[in-house]
Chains A and B, each alone.
Chain A
């Protein structure tokens, strides 16, 4: 038994049990976001896969690994998408070094 069970994703709709209108509004919105638009479904799945890694959501990683494969992505493309997430996450940490340096300057002689 682990905290995250892969079968739990199938229980996601249960979130609507005590707040059905909010759940419906969210799932309707979710469905529209992932519909084919200016971006293809395939592009959206790769973005979702990268974001899933950035937010480290195990359900989203499983779901968008499958969705990416089913939209014809190779593992090479998917790995590159994860690197994009890693670069932004790493870059985000590093670029805050500017704040550190500015604050250090203010505090230093």
Chain B
């Protein structure tokens, strides 16, 4: 994989690049397929991005997360405001993401309070290696005790591709982390502790068909490393932040956008995550999804743009903010935080 520049493209520049990319606007793709503009229904997934701090610095990261991100992390009053909205609206799933969300000092308190509220499903989007940090002793046990579903990144079943995307040594430490999780019951069918693996393409191409990839991951990870997991989700990389920088540096930007446009699948639209997700930024700002969050495209209703001013009646039925990056979610089998959308 081509190395990306160390500095981040300003958000304005990213939005300009997307708006001037030589493919039709996302809404024009909908129109051609005789589909209406996107609007949100009830929030069933309340996704909280607790900050950009991470122990890794992956080449494809749409968050620009890394060890250098010491400022952009959620403070407790913002968590508390999230808890209030969750208690009032009762979403079935609370999805915690980052960065490495576990590195936020309030992570465990937040999970504990979510459990006390009776949230049905709590998801931790985990990079796996965080579980092996000396500072995170007891983290895996904490997650198991609170029956948190782990959605863990592992792009490939080989060291070469995994390390090319996520950094040297990540594959070996990820395998060790999965082994530790398996030891606690994660990934075993009868334990109730769900371990989902999540794979993004290592380059400028679309992900493989999800169910056949899952079968292959299961077979090879079991045979080579004696580890198990419950299911695999495939995600398409979004042309945002570090992945956008990679596309530009490698000369793949316009071909990739053209590929996403050509692969637009009308059948992938009805399963789009933005239709039932609310995304909260580390500072409490509200977005239609984590990708809009990184492009700083706030939700449409001006009267409900932060968790502190949240108004349910403005959020349900709101028009979803779209731009050309949305073509990543509608390409081929479709893509979202829950995997394929078709």
Residues of A within 8 A of B (CB): 40-42, 66, 69-72, 74-76
B206 touching A70, Cβ below 8 Å: yes
Indicate if the CB atoms of B158 and A76 lie closer than 8 Å: yes
Q: What residues of chain B have their CB less than 8 Å away from a CB belonging to chain A?
A: 156, 158, 160-161, 201, 203, 205-209, 212-213, 216
Contacts of A72 in B (CB 8 A): 207-208, 212-213, 216
> Which DSSP category, helix, strand, loop or mixed, fits chain B's interface?
loop
In the complex, the chain B residue whose C-beta lies closest to that of A42 is: B212
**Chain A interface helix/strand/loop/mixed:** helix
The smallest C-beta distance from A24 to any residue of chain B, in angstroms, reads 21
Q: In the complex, which of the residues A41, A69, A71 contacts B203, with contact meaning CB atoms closer than 8 Å?
A: A69
Bound: A80/B220 CA distance, A:
17
Let me know if B158 and A74 touch, CB within 8 A: yes
Closest to B213 in A: A72
- Given contacts A69-B201, A74-B161, whether A41 and B156 have CB atoms under 8 Å apart is no
Q: Within the assembled complex, what's the spacing in Å between the Cα atoms of A41 and B156?
A: 18
- Are A76 and B206 interface neighbours, CB within 8 A? no
Residue pair B160, A76 in contact (C-beta under 8 Å): yes
A70–B207 Cα distance when bound, in Å, is 5
* Measured CA separation A40–B212 after assembly (Å): 9
Identify which of A66, A70, A74 contacts B156 (C-beta below 8 A).
Answer: A74
Q: List 5 tightest A-B contacts by C-beta distance, closest first.
A: A72-B208, A69-B205, A71-B208, A72-B213, A70-B205
11 contacts between A and B (CB under 8 A): A66-B205, A70-B201, A70-B205, A70-B207, A71-B209, A72-B208, A72-B212, A72-B216, A74-B156, A76-B158, A76-B160
